[in-house]
Amino acid sequence: MSVIQKVNTEEFYPTMKKWCKGNNFPCISPSMLPENTFVIYSDGGTPLYSLCFYNTDSRLAWVGWELKNPDTSKEDRLGKLSQLFEHVEEYARGMGYDMVFTTSSTPPVEEVMLDLDYTVGDTGVSHYIKVLN
């Protein structure tokens, strides 16, 4: 049975940074990440995936920065991302959220979303970001 833990993102950040690098994924500054990240572990205690959970002041929970441990096998990770999302959904439901929102252009993540009955929202949309200094 896999273990899922809610961890402090700041403490887990060195692992996230390593995973970003190992997956050729850009690493976001820790100041842009939420306080909490969920991590699913193998039966042997190896972290397999992480998922950041942004608390909002609305009924919409935002999750993002789905990361896999690049040093684990596809077989070890099989089904674990789905389990992690289902756990986070239950957590969000228990916190009073009505909806979970995420974005992804990564085919394996998109496949999990569709398998879990997520609906594709916008397509052909650009995201606009402005850094405030």
Handedness of CA 82, 15, 12, 131 (dihedral sign): negative
What domains lie within the chain, and their CATH numbers? 3-115 (3.40.630.30)
2 — pLDDT class (breaks 50, 70, 90): confident
Helix axes 80-94, 107-115, angle to 10 degrees: 60
* CA distance to 3, 13, 33, 93, 115, per residue, from 27 (Å): 25, 10, 11, 29, 27
Q: What is the pTM of this model?
A: 0.92
Q: What is the mean pLDDT of residues 11-22?
A: 97
Rounded to whole angstroms, how far apart are CA atoms 94 and 91?
5
pLDDT of residue 92: 97
d(CA 53, CA 64): 7
C-alpha span between 55 and 19 (Å, rounded):
23
